[in-house]
């Protein structure tokens, strides 16, 4: 009897309200590693789950939890991009939630030259919402660098508008959910480990787009699953860190 009860009792899912301190810097370092490898992070996919579900509640993606859904999409995109890019699928992703958009997903990745139309077509099939062949205007919500958007605006793709920085600002944008201030000796102070933040928090950005909280995210019973970095980028980051440490000791 006790064993049967134990089987039915599940530990609660892990929840997070912010990215850990240092996340934005890690994302920027990952983007730097991608550029060093010759495959800079140059494309941003955004998917709004609530909108996707609202317009098609029979979409098979919603038979999965958000964590499973993201893992499934990342794996399919890994195969698709990997077949077209010698560097494989180099990516960063983050989950966010706001009162306006609900939970949504940002995926920044390297897309080979000349593959924008192809990846937009593939994503329309993968996500179950067709591509809108009429580009939306800024008044209709077009985002900076946007080159593809679905008919019901549930997903869109944007290019890196600062390619000379090799993904720096895409990575910084994904890291905006890290708090712009932290506790130090019982007081809130600017989080100097967050490289890109607003002037109100000691940063250089005039707007507050990098400072707003990005909501509570539910992971699994074992993992937080608020963000992810491609394994090859993690390995490159570790190798760079080890090289720096060796140089310091020499």
Determine how β-strand 102-109 pairs with β-strand 181-184: unpaired
Number of structural domains (the chain) is: 1
Within-domain flag for 150: yes
Within-domain flag for 26: yes
pLDDT tens digit sequence for 75-120: 999 999 999 999 999 999 999 999 888 999 999 999 999 999 999 9
Within-domain flag for 56: yes
Q: Is the pLDDT of residue 71 over 90?
A: yes
For residue 177, give Cα distances in angstroms to 208, 226, 247.
12, 10, 33
Within-domain flag for 103: yes
How many Cβ atoms sit within 10 Å of the Cβ of residue 86? 8
What is the per-residue pLDDT for 100?
A: 85
Residues 6+ apart with CB under 8 A from 232: 37, 88, 90
Q: Is the pLDDT of residue 74 over 60?
A: yes
CB distance 203 to 210 below 8 Å: yes
What is the per-residue pLDDT for 210?
A: 94
For the chain, the average pLDDT equals 93
Higher pLDDT, 140 or 47: 47
Within-domain flag for 249: no
Within-domain flag for 48: yes
At 7, the pLDDT band (50, 70, 90 cuts) reads low
CB distance 93 to 106 below 8 Å: yes
Give Cα 17 to chain centroid, integer Å: 16
Task: Supply the range of the domain harboring residue 138.
Answer: 10-240
CB distance 48 to 155 below 8 Å: yes
What is the per-residue pLDDT for 4?
A: 58
Within-domain flag for 84: yes
pTM of the full predicted structure? 0.92
What is the per-residue pLDDT for 8?
A: 62
Residue whose C-alpha is closest to residue 209's, from 198, 194, 193: 198
Q: Is the pLDDT of residue 246 over 90?
A: no
**What average pLDDT does the segment 168-194 reach?**
95
Within-domain flag for 4: no
- Coil, strand or helix: which one is 21? coil
């Amino acid at each position: 009897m006790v064993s049967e009860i134990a089987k039915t009792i599940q530990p609660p899912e892990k929840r997070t309200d912010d990215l850990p301190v240092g996340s934005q810097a890690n994302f920027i370092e990952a983007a730097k590693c991608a550029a060093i490898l010759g495959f800079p992070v140059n494309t941003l996919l955004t998917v709004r789950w609530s909108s996707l579900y609202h317009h098609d509640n029979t979409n098979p993606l919603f038979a999965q939890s958000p964590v499973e859904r993201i893992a499934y999409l990342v794996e399919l995109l890994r195969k698709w991009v990997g077949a077209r890019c010698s560097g494989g699928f180099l990516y960063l992703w983050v989950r966010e939630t706001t009162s306006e958009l609900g939970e949504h997903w940002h995926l920044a990745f390297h897309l080979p030259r000349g593959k924008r139309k192809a990846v937009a077509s593939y994503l329309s099939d993968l996500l179950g919402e067709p591509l809108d062949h009429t580009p939306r205007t800024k008044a209709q919500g077009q985002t900076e660098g946007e080159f593809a958007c679905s008919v019901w605006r549930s997903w869109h793709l944007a290019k890196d508008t600062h390619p000379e920085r090799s993904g720096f600002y895409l990575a910084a944008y994904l890291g905006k959910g890290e708090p712009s201030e932290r506790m130090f000796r019982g007081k809130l102070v600017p989080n100097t480990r967050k490289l890109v933040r607003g002037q109100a928090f000691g940063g250089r950005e005039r707007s507050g787009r990098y400072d707003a909280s990005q909501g509570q995210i539910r992971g699994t019973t074992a993992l937080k699953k608020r963000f992810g970095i491609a394994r090859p980028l993690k390995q490159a980051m570790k190798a760079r860190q080890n090289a720096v440490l060796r140089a310091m000791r020499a």
